[in-house]
Amino acid sequence: MLKVLERTHHQAEPAASSFLVDQVAALLCYDPSVRSGAQDASYAMSAAAGRVWSALGDRRLFHRTAVDELRAELAWLTWSLAPLSHLQHPHITQGTTYESAYDRALAALESDRYFRLVADLQQFCSAPPVRQPRRRHLYGG
């Protein structure tokens, strides 16, 4: 007699999808403040991008090929925001260091690449490519 045992993560899917949607929403809610030059918003947006990057890395839930490009683009966004996020003196909003960091962040947020990333994340969240559960066959009598 053949028995099929399914190891499934269906219980984790709604929670993981909900977390992912929440983190993408968080990432997007900081966008206007980063555009206005707020260092704390840049840091928060980078942190949200990092959480999305981590959530997408769950190989038990998502196909690697479906998330690798998204994760690369999230890494690019975090890299673009990093100088503004990590300035030593956030109260100083003048000077070439701040201007350079702000220009880099703003250029990223105004790029077609960023808008593609946002669209791709929204598409991913609306229909996440969840891995099919693996089946194990146990032969028994």
Cα dist from 92 to 79, 100, 126, whole Å: 21, 13, 40
For 51-95, how does the pLDDT look when each residue is reduced to its tens digit (9 = 90+)?
999 999 887 788 788 799 999 999 999 999 999 988 866 555 567
SS3 134: strand
Q: Could you state, in order of their start, the residue ranges of all structural domains in the chain?
A: 15-128
Rg (CA), the chain: 20
Q: Against a cut of 0.85, is the pTM above it?
A: no
> By mean pLDDT, which of 22-26, 38-42, 124-128 is the weakest?
124-128
Query: What pLDDT does 140 receive?
Result: 53
Query: What pLDDT does 15 receive?
Result: 66
Sign, CA dihedral 120-126-127-128, equals: positive
**pLDDT at 29 exceeding the cut of 90:** yes
Query: How far, in Å, CA of 49 to CA of 27, rounded?
Result: 6
Sign, CA dihedral 84-89-90-92, equals: negative
Sign, CA dihedral 9-10-15-19, equals: positive
Q: Mean pLDDT for the chain?
A: 82
Could you say which of 1.10.10, 1.10.3470, 3.40.50, 1.20.120 is the CATH number of the domain covering 15-128?
1.20.120
Range picked from 19-28, 111-120, 130-139 for highest mean pLDDT: 111-120
